[in-house]
Amino acid sequence: EAQVTQNPRYLITVTGKKLTVTCSQNMNHEYMSWYRQDPGLGLRQIYYSMNVEVTDKGDVPEGYKVSRKEKRNFPLILESPSPNQTSLYFCASCNQQGPITGELFFGEGSRLTVL
Amino acid sequence: AQTVTQSQPEMSVQEAETVTLSCTYDTSESDYYLFWYKQPPSRQMILVIRQEAYKQQNATENRFSVNFQKAAKSFSLKISDSQLGDAAMYFCAYRRGNDMRFGAGTRLTVKP
């Protein structure tokens, strides 16, 4: 089954404790991205990656890091989480070659709470 | 920067009736995609419908259709014969290349 898988789905942590949210897709997509969803703001892009070893900042990259060492994986790293990073996070991927439909495929979301 | 505006934070509709969700966007580009995504309580983002800007014909998917007005930069979603399962948050989105923007969302309630 074609899917984007995020882990963990729920996480409660404390300020300053490093954490990683993993994202993996099995569709051989070149493009992957991370979003955060906050009430009244919709989804905002944190980082994106056009392909392996290529990453770039989105609209709200502060406090986050990413890496793209393999095509299928795109982890989101919070080196020193703060309460303002409490949010719902989505990973998404998209095909950049062949029939390009423009559609993003989303993971199921990761609810992060930073105390 | 491109922006997407959904002016209706909440909407409600009676079961079996029709409802229209509004979306406007701002861009200087001529080639882009527009989407409506549905987010039920499960939080999963589900693609409802897609429109390529170069196509004049409005997209339709069963009970879902759009009214795409390119000159007015408007992209509304019409849901016909509303069902209880249509209750969700709906997001309008714009994409061109790496730039994908979402509106703030419209919460749709369906009354039995």
B104 close contact with A: CB closer than 8 A: yes
pLDDT tens readout for residues B16-44: 999 999 999 999 988 899 999 999 998 99
Task: Enumerate residues 6+ apart whose C-beta is below 8 A from A71.
Answer: A28, A29, A30, A51, A52
Categorize the per-residue pLDDT at B76 as very low, low, confident or very high, splitting at 50, 70 and 90. very high
Q: How far is A45 from chain B (nearest CA, A)?
A: 8
Tell me the mean pLDDT in the region A19-25: 97
Mean pLDDT of A74-93: 97
Q: Closest CB to A102: pick one of B9, B44, B50.
A: B50
Q: Give one DSSP letter per residue of B47-105, joined into a string.
A: EEEEEETT--SPPEETTEEEEEETTTTEEEEEE-S--GGG-EEEEEEEEETTEEEE---
Q: How confident is the model at residue A97 (pLDDT cuts 50, 70, 90)?
A: low
- Residues of chain A neighbouring B98 (CB-CB closer than 8 A): 31, 48, 50, 56
**B43 at the A interface (CB within 8 A)?**
yes
Compute the average pLDDT of residues A89-97.
Answer: 86
Determine if the peptide bond prior to B40 is cis (ω within 30°): no
d(CA A39, nearest CA chain B) in Å: 8
Q: Hey, are the CB atoms on B102 and A40 less than 8 Å from each other?
A: no
Of A40, A56, A101, which has the smallest distance from its Cβ to B104's Cβ?
A40
- Look over chain A and give the mean of its residue pLDDT values, rounded to a whole number: 92
Note whether B33 and B52 are within 8 A (CB).
yes
Contact B5, B102 (CB under 8 A): no
Residue B47 forms contact with A (CB below 8 Å): yes
